[in-house]
């Protein structure tokens, strides 16, 4: 647990509950202009998120690689490639504009 917190603690410490209520796949936290999407239990290749205003970019926490988001009617489509998955908690950082 200590090793995990050393690596991912910023996605938990000093945050508050995110704009997406807890779901079967995980939870969100937020701090400043960043929303952390914690994907705890998801095996499919895509995750559909509810609509979120002002998202300007997304990246995978840890690697910093760009995460692709597609705006759909009624939400956002997030591909979850196997190469970015973490066995405990896969984290995507959504960056909001102007916050």
Which residue reads 């095996």 in tokens? 43
CB 64 within 8 A of CB 89: no
Tell me which residue of 53, 34, 45 sits closest to 95, measured CA to CA.
Answer: 34
Note every long-range contact of 22-26, with CB atoms under 8 Å and residues 24 or more positions apart, other chains counting.
Answer: 26/89
Task: Say what the pTM is.
Answer: 0.91
Could you tell me the domains of the chain?
2-96 (2.60.40.1180)
Tens of pLDDT, residue by residue over 20-51, are 999 999 999 999 999 999 999 999 999 999 99
pLDDT score of 99? 58
């Amino acid at each position: 647990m200590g090793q995990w917190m050393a690596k991912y603690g910023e996605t938990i410490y000093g945050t508050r509950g995110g704009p997406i209520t807890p779901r079967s796949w995980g939870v969100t936290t937020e701090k400043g202009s960043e929303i952390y999407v914690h994907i705890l239990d998801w095996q499919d290749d895509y995750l559909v998120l509810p609509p979120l205003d002002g998202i300007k970019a997304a990246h995978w926490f840890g690697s910093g690689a760009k995460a692709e988001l597609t705006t759909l009617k009624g939400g956002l489509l997030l591909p979850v490639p196997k190469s970015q998955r973490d066995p405990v908690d896969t984290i995507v950082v959504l960056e909001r504009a102007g916050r």
